[in-house]
Amino acid sequence: MLTKFTTLAATALAVVTVTTTAFAAEAPRPPAQEWGFSGLFGTFDRGAQQRGFQVFQQACQSCHALEFIHFRNLTGIGLSPEEVEAIAEGYQVEDGPDDLGDMFMRAARPADRIPPPFPNEQAARAANNGAYPPELSLMTRARFFGHDYVYALLTGYRDEPPEDVELMPGMYFNEWFPGQQIAMAPPLFEGAITYEDGSPETVEQYARDLVTFLAWTAEPELEERNRLGVKVVLFVIVLTGLLFALKKKIWSDVH
């Protein structure tokens, strides 16, 4: 299941990244952040992932889709099958046709994809003053400095733009968005989302948790790949030692 999911995501990523060069030319480089999932020994914080999914549900999914995520994939962030089933039942998905040839709505199942907020791009644009909310499951891979960029964007809104910036109607100032004017209203506010585990309820914490969750949606195989990488490195080290010892033994009589 993971291989099929990863292949599908990688195919979509290849399409998305075609436009990133022009994007990077306009966007300032965001400040570097420390992420626990970065590096050869990186792992995901399950608590942060689950909080990030909560942030997505309460602050993002009314506009943004997670096109490549099925409910059953959420076991990858530490949720039990029972918790996943309960989450899925809170969504409605279209199914059918029935015996009369009609489509109908039903409660989602773990095998279903998380349903998008809009039926098509035109409906999404109509609901957002012409702007199209991007799909998020690959967002941290589809932008240069992806994790840092998403975090900077979420925390980069300012109530008042600089004096030399004149905002267009319906736009918001964000210092890390290309052109510094963005159609998306600030999605995160202090205390807007309640964490049951006692984590800080700040914009910065919400943003960090959401990025951790989206890093997983973009690379669900990251931990498995890192474990394999460590094994390969250890194998190469041991093999090098054995070959060196063998070389010493073979050439020990040569002076």
For residues 189 and 248, state if they share a domain: no
Mean pLDDT, the chain, whole residue set: 89
Do 163 and 252 lie in a common domain? no
- Residue 54's domain spans which residues? 2-69+116-220
pLDDT, tens digit (0-9, with 9 covering 90-100), for 21-51: 444 446 678 999 999 999 888 999 999 999 9
Interhelix angle 203-218/46-55, nearest 10 degrees: 100
Residues 158 and 244 in one domain: no
Inform me whether the pLDDT recorded for 171 exceeds 70: yes
Query: Does 247 lie in the same domain as 205?
Result: no
Question: Can you give the pLDDT at residue 17?
Answer: 44
Question: Which pLDDT belongs to residue 14?
Answer: 45
Q: What is the CATH number of the domain that holds 170?
A: 1.10.760.10
- pLDDT score recorded for residue 252: 75
In this structure, are 163 and 210 located in the same domain? yes
Structure confidence at residue 251 as a pLDDT band (50, 70, 90): confident
How much is the pLDDT for 247? 85
Cα 13 to its chain centre, rounded Å, is 12
User: Are 147 and 203 in a shared domain?
Assistant: yes
Higher pLDDT, 62 or 15: 62
Same domain, yes or no: 170 and 140: yes
CB burial class (10 A; 0-12, 13-18, 19+) of residue 157?
buried
